[in-house]
Amino acid sequence: MRYLFGPRPGREWWSLDYSNIELRLPAYEAGEQEMIKLFEHPDDEPYFGSVHLLMFDVLHQEMFAEHGAAVKDVYKATWYQWTKNGDFAVQYGSVEESGKADNAYHMKGAFRKIKGRFSKIHGRNGLNERCIAFAQKHGYIETMKDVEFGRGYPLECEFSSYGRVKPTVPLNYRVQGSAMWCMCRAMVRCNEYLSKLGPSYMMVLQVHDELVFDFPAGTGADPWKINLPKVKCLKKLMEQSGDDIGVPLRADVAYHPVSYDKEVKVAT
């Protein structure tokens, strides 16, 4: 669908995408040091910043020992894809008893291994259980506390007919709600910055954890360098949302001279 969107002649697009924001938030809040190290050293072997590679190693140690990071190509359509599927099931609130995560991983007992390795999020009295207990008591869960406002934004949680909060909901709402709070704060800051540049500099799309900007096209041998200083300012403003909630965030930058589906990654 991205092919349908793009800059008009004489314009160029830039996209800034929060990197792993919905994995970073619970990892930092819970204090999962192994995941935090991964995010803070994205170029280091053996995982190169990839949570999916880390989870693959947890579940399939022999295969990872043989192939390393190449498992994402060797098992692209099987074990690596299934690991990603299971990771998303866990990320978005699956509970072990349902068996849905294990089905996604194509491996019985997979979620139990994940819980054992990352107990500060998924284990007994971990972040997930604390969120469930809070929601059961109050009927809602809050996004992570914003230092300026002194609290998070309340999100009403769904309950079963038996009066129990649905266990897949509280942590899921807290993480996704916090991610979108960061995005909202970023949009306000970026809009204030763009308004100072004039009407030719626009924010045109917000797609989940990504913002897209429309600028006058650069010229010369390296046209992308013309607007790069402005993009760096926008990147800093987006990442400032992490300071609001006490979690370091990173925004990746891509340049789109032709269409939204054709991108050039730009180091900043």
Amino acid identity, residue 78?
T
Q: Cα-flanking dihedrals φ and ψ of residue 168, to 5°?
A: -80, -10
Q: Which two tokens stand for residue 99?
A: 């068996």
DSSP category for residue 209: T
Pick the closest to residue 14 from 171, 162, 210 (CA basis): 210
pLDDT of residue 97: 79
pLDDT at 90 exceeding the cut of 90:
no
Residue with tokens 């650069």: 218
pLDDT digits over 186-238, tens only? Answer: 999 999 999 999 999 999 999 999 999 999 999 999 999 999 999 999 999 99
Distance CA 124, CA 127 (A): 9
pLDDT digit string (tens) for 45-60? 999 999 999 999 999 9
Going by their DSSP bridges, the two strands 140-142 and 154-156 should be labelled as: antiparallel
Residue 152: band (very low, low, confident or very high) from pLDDT cuts 50, 70, 90:
very high
Mean pLDDT of 141-159: 96
Kindly list the strands in the beta sheet with 210-216, ordered across the sheet, starting from the edge strand earlier in the chain: 202-207, 210-216, 11-18, 251-256, 264-265
> Cα separation of 95 and 83, whole Å?
16
State the pLDDT at residue 215.
98
What is the model's pLDDT at position 93? 73
Cis status, amide bond into 46, omega within 30 of 0: yes
CA distance 180 to 160: 26
Domains of the chain listed by start with CATH number: 2-19+181-265 (3.30.70.370), 36-117 (no CATH)
- 186 and 238 Cβ atoms separated by less than 8 Å: yes
Q: How far is CA 249 from the centre of its chain?
A: 9
Question: Can you give the pLDDT at residue 61?
Answer: 96
Q: How far apart are CA 165 and CA 145, in angstroms?
A: 22
Tell me the pTM.
0.90
User: What beta strand segments (E) does the chain contain?
Assistant: 11-18, 140-142, 154-156, 202-207, 210-216, 251-256, 264-265
pLDDT of residue 91: 81
Q: What is the pLDDT of residue 130?
A: 96
Residue showing tokens 């709402």: 173
